[in-house]
Amino acid sequence: MRSFAKWMLVVGLVAVMAGPSLAQEQKGRQGRGKGGAGQGRGGMFGGRGGMWVLAVPAVQEEIKATDDQKEKIGELMRNQFQAQRDLGQDASQEDRAKLRQKNTEEQEKFAKDNLKPDQLKRYHQIKRQQDGVLALKEPEVQTTLKLTADQKEKINALAEDFQKDLRELQPMGGGGRRQGGGKAGGGGGDFQAQMQKITALRKDFLTKGEKVLTDSQQKEWKELLGKPFEMPAFGGFGGRRGGQDKDK
């Protein structure tokens, strides 16, 4: 069971690192008429990190998750993983998109229902850090920052460019399928190099997005992000957490 959970977390971390927000992406596509809608850039379970962020052991430590909360997170992960398997490899893009949206809604509801206010606040901060420039498209963020129409237009343009560049780097090939003989799940040098490029890309576009903000907006934005959190490689497995080493 632990080995299965580890594998799920590694796959989930790919979604955390490479998957932009499904909701943001769908909004960004409206009116553009581009093909390939629903092409899985939210990872296997959709969302912009979402529950996968919360499933990472280091994140659970950061928010001081209880054992009961961790169990419930694991249960939801398993249910969503099974739903993905039940959907099958031949499912239509429309059905995949519906499942991703359903999973995303379940994940956010879980967080609101099961996390304490301070845990939920920190969880959202970490999610925004993982989203990078895409977080600046969130309606609640834009409202808090009081973005102007011109600022929103510039943020949208940056988000589109980010997603375009990200698709070229994604280890899951944009459509949820591995490229290069399964390198995405293998943890080899190629995969790690891709993750480093994705991290650098996220930081680069976030910096560009922050330059669109005024000084006062940047100050509020930093508060929305909270203390910087560095996502550990493969969710923190590989010796950081002591006893989990034994199941490698």
Give the model's pLDDT for residue 119.
Answer: 97
What interhelical angle do 93-114 and 22-29 show, nearest 10?
130
pTM: 0.71
> Is a pLDDT exceeding 70 seen at residue 41?
no
Which comes out higher in pLDDT, residue 87 or 236?
Answer: 87
Residues above pLDDT 70, as percent of the chain: 65
Phi–psi pair at 42, nearest 5 degrees: -90, 10
Residue-averaged pLDDT of the chain: 75
List pLDDT tens digits, range 121-172: 999 999 999 889 999 999 999 999 999 999 999 999 999 999 999 888 865 5
Q: DSSP alpha helices (H): ranges in the chain?
A: 2-18, 22-29, 50-55, 57-62, 67-87, 93-114, 117-131, 139-145, 149-169, 183-186, 189-212, 215-225
- A 10 A CB-CB count for 37 gives 13
Instruction: Report the C-alpha gap between 66 and 62 in whole angstroms.
Output: 11
Cα of first residue to Cα of last residue in the chain, in angstroms, is 12
Residues above pLDDT 90, as percent of the chain: 46
- Please state the rounded mean pLDDT for residues 30-48: 39
- A 10 A CB-CB count for 242 gives 7
Type of residue numbered 140? E
List pLDDT tens digits, range 183-221: 444 445 577 788 788 889 989 999 999 999 999 999 999
Domain boundaries, the chain: 2-228
Give the model's pLDDT for residue 45.
Answer: 41
Whether the Cβ atoms of residue 49 and residue 20 lie closer than 8 Å to each other: no
> Is a pLDDT exceeding 60 seen at residue 7?
no
